[in-house]
Amino acid sequence: MEILLVIIIGLLYAAGIYMMLRRSLVKLIIGLILLGNGANLLIFLLGKIVKGQPPIIASSEKMLGELYADPVPQALILTAIVISFGLQAFAIILVKRAYKVVKTDDLDEMNATDEDL
Amino acid sequence: MNNPYIVLPVIFQLFIAVLLMFSWNSKNIQKLISVTGSLIALVISILLLVKVNTEGIQIMQAGGWAAPFGITFVADTFSSLLVLLTAIAGLAVSVYSVGSIRNARVKFGYFPIFHLLIMGLSGAFLTGDIFNLYVWFEIIIISSFVLLTIGGEKAQIEGAIKYVTMNLLASVIFLTAIAILYGLTGSLNMADLSLRVAEIENRGLVNVTAVLFLVGFGIKSAVFPLYFWLPASYHTPPPAISAIFGGLLTKVGVYALLRVFTLIFVPDAFLSTVIMVLAIFTILSGGIGALIQNNMRKVISYLIICHIGFMLAGLGVYSSLAIAGAIFYLVHDIVVKTNLFMVSGLIFKFKGTYSMRLLGSFYKEHPKLSLLMAVPLFSLVGIPPLSGFWGKLLILQGAIEQTNILVVVFVILGSFLTLFIIARLWSEVFWKDGPELPEKKHIKYFNALKPLKRRAMIGSILFLSLISLGIGFGAEWVMRLSIKIAENLMDPTQYIQAVLGN
């Protein structure tokens, strides 16, 4: 399981960075999304994966057993997903807007900000 | 120990933002709420600094969960000083916005978003939890995205593409670093992390994580070679927005660097060399970049990068004197950079252009205003006894004490570059006889503004100039405060004890 996740995370990071280096605006956003998902999975992986051990204290016990699934990474991932959802929604609208205003989706054509006034 | 009032600067900004949204359609009420709200926020943050300075570090454990299990908010002297500076810059820009932001932008919610940005900044300074810091960073960047694009001009959108991409990338890197750190230590509380990171045996992995933090915060604070988004975007929005960006956004990255690299990761020889080399190149590339620019706002943008290098150099030297210098410089820089962008906006209102080639004879036409504008310009150069001098002096003292000749040479070189750039700006914009500029129809010139708006713009510049002068002439007080902060940063036992109990 861990090995599989490691491979997937590596692929997501690699694909994300590759997509970000392309000239197309849409691919840029896809790259960012892939990177974000990779980071979320990384949190999940590094929170130590445990199978079938929910962090629930049985009514007869006072403490959690030795091994239990850490709930904190899941809370972190949930927060990160919600945040990146908002940011990505904004970024997609921005790309659409940029395409309308600049009339191209080629990043190399977007150099109005470097022009001398 | 649990003092819930320390988050008041954060909650209060949220309260103002919500209040502003209720008066969405009436721009005059919005302006009134924004200015009075910023004034009250300033009073709150002064009270916070006084309390922290007299009674020591204040803690709030959110929900009553004892550290390290819950989210902790920590107001030590460093945090509360920066919250105070945020409130000062916030008040100035709020007043300036009354005069300079167009009604169309107010209608799209400029003021509520502005206060949410200030809220995010205050939260980032006050939090004591590394993941919570990430959340505050996201609040800051989403608000800044909206502010950067509000109005939707072509240059704004293009600048925003670069800004948004780099900031999202920085967030992902920051999140990756947090993930690895959590995997290593199982904790998110910064005080707890400080203890646990020191115990890890695999130093190689710790250094990799530290470098990830360095890259993430480096993008946000525009450190070489990750600064290219800054000069591509900061000159595109209206001057009031540039002012708050230039004054505070990059500085929150510097704050995070100073905090993380003193509390959690203590730089070893390799890491401090990396930071120092980055600082040197940041100073050089910012200074040289500013030399060749013609747009006044771009010159100031490159100067931001150059001076980020000074603060980073202070961190790279890593002695309490040098870090005190970096903190003093941070204090000075927030006030001056905010002020300079507002000055450039005021000049634009008179002349209708930012191009230094076309500008000129400002001193002849407006001698009193020019003298007022000279205060931030020459503070930036650091002519003694103005505020820029003392921070650099401390950094240089720290570097000489550690016999760190490279930093000494390049900080002095950076100061000379700044002097040359400001002298050129002064002679081009103020002294040179400028050409007659054609009237542009779509610009509302200064003389066509209502008297209240005119006073708001000049008043806010005057306010920040007085603060700059205060920092310069009251340098002893600020210096004592910076040295105290630096000593607490270098020896974080007080901080850790305050957060974790014993």
Closest chain B C-alpha to A59 CA, distance in angstroms: 22
CATH code, residues A2-50+70-108: 1.10.287.3510
The rounded distance, in Å, linking the Cα atoms of B159 and B234 is 8
pLDDT of residue A61: 80
CA-based max dimension of chain B: 70
pLDDT of residue B444: 80
Q: Do B179 and A46 touch (CB under 8 A)?
A: yes
Q: Which of B45, B155, B366 lies closest to A111, judged by CA?
A: B155
Query: ipTM of this predicted complex?
Result: 0.94
SS (H, E, C) B234-277: CCCCCHHHHHHHHHHHHHHHHHHHHHHHHHCCCCCHHHHHHHHH
C-alpha distance from residue B146 to each of A91, B19, B214, B373 (Å): 11, 19, 26, 29
3-state class (DSSP) for residue B433: coil
Domain assignment of residue B336, given as a range: 4-500
Is pLDDT above 60 for A117? no
Residue B456: which residues within 8 A CB-CB, separation 6 or more? B95, B96, B98, B99, B100
Phi then psi dihedrals of residue B406, to 5 deg = -55, -50
**What is the tally of structural domains in chain B?**
1
Q: What residues of A are in contact with residue B294 (Cβ under 8 Å)?
A: 116-117
The sign one gets for the Cα dihedral B257, B260, B262, B268 is negative
Q: Which of B148, B360, B115, B140 lies closest to B235, judged by CA?
A: B148
pLDDT of residue B1: 62
Q: Do B145 and A90 touch (CB under 8 A)?
A: yes
Predicted model pTM: 0.94
Q: Do B175 and A39 touch (CB under 8 A)?
A: yes
Q: What residues of A are in contact with residue B161 (Cβ under 8 Å)?
A: 25, 94-95, 98, 107, 110
CB B486 within 8 A of CB B321: yes
- How many separate helices (H) and strands (E) can be counted in chain B? 22, 2
The rounded distance, in Å, linking the Cα atoms of B141 and B120 is 9
Per-residue pLDDT of chain B (502 residues; tens, 9 = 90+): 688 899 999 999 999 999 999 998 888 999 999 999 999 999 999 999 999 999 989 999 988 888 888 899 999 999 999 999 999 999 999 999 998 888 888 889 999 999 999 999 999 999 999 999 999 999 999 999 999 999 888 889 989 999 999 999 999 999 999 999 999 998 999 999 999 999 998 888 999 999 999 999 999 999 988 999 999 999 999 999 999 999 999 999 999 999 999 999 988 888 999 999 999 999 999 999 999 999 999 999 999 999 999 999 999 999 999 999 999 999 999 999 999 999 999 999 998 889 988 898 889 999 999 999 999 999 999 888 889 899 999 999 999 998 889 999 999 999 999 999 999 999 999 998 888 888 887 778 888 888 999 999 999 999 999 999 999 999 999 999 999 999 999 999 999 999 988 6
**CB contact B179 to A (< 8 Å):** yes
Question: Domain residue spans in chain A?
Answer: 2-50+70-108
Q: Do B159 and A113 touch (CB under 8 A)?
A: yes
Q: pLDDT class for A2, splitting at 50, 70, 90?
A: confident
The rounded distance, in Å, linking the Cα atoms of B341 and B235 is 9
The rounded distance, in Å, linking the Cα atoms of B346 and A1 is 61
Q: Do B169 and A35 touch (CB under 8 A)?
A: yes
The sign one gets for the Cα dihedral B64, B69, B71, B74 is positive
The rounded distance, in Å, linking the Cα atoms of A2 and B161 is 36
Nearest to A83 among B138, B145, B186 (CB): B138
**CB contact B161 to A (< 8 Å):** yes
C-alpha B465: how far from its chain's center?
17
pLDDT 10s digits, A64-116: 777 788 888 999 999 999 999 999 999 999 999 999 988 888 888 877 777 76
Indicate the DSSP class of residue B423. H
The token duo for B285 is: 């590339």
Q: What residues of A are in contact with residue B354 (Cβ under 8 Å)?
A: 117
C-alpha distance from residue A17 to each of A30, A90, B125, B179, B389 (Å): 10, 20, 31, 18, 42
Nearest to B172 among A35, A90, A112 (CB): A35
pLDDT of residue B40: 96
Q: pLDDT class for A51, splitting at 50, 70, 90?
A: confident
Indicate the DSSP class of residue B437. P
The token duo for B185 is: 């230590």
C-alpha A42: how far from its chain's center?
9
CB B189 within 8 A of CB B132: no
3-state class (DSSP) for residue A22: coil
Q: What residues of A are in contact with residue B164 (Cβ under 8 Å)?
A: 90-91, 94
Identify whether B225 is preceded by a cis peptide bond (ω within 30 of 0): yes
Q: Which of B196, B108, B178 lies closest to B496, judged by CA?
A: B196
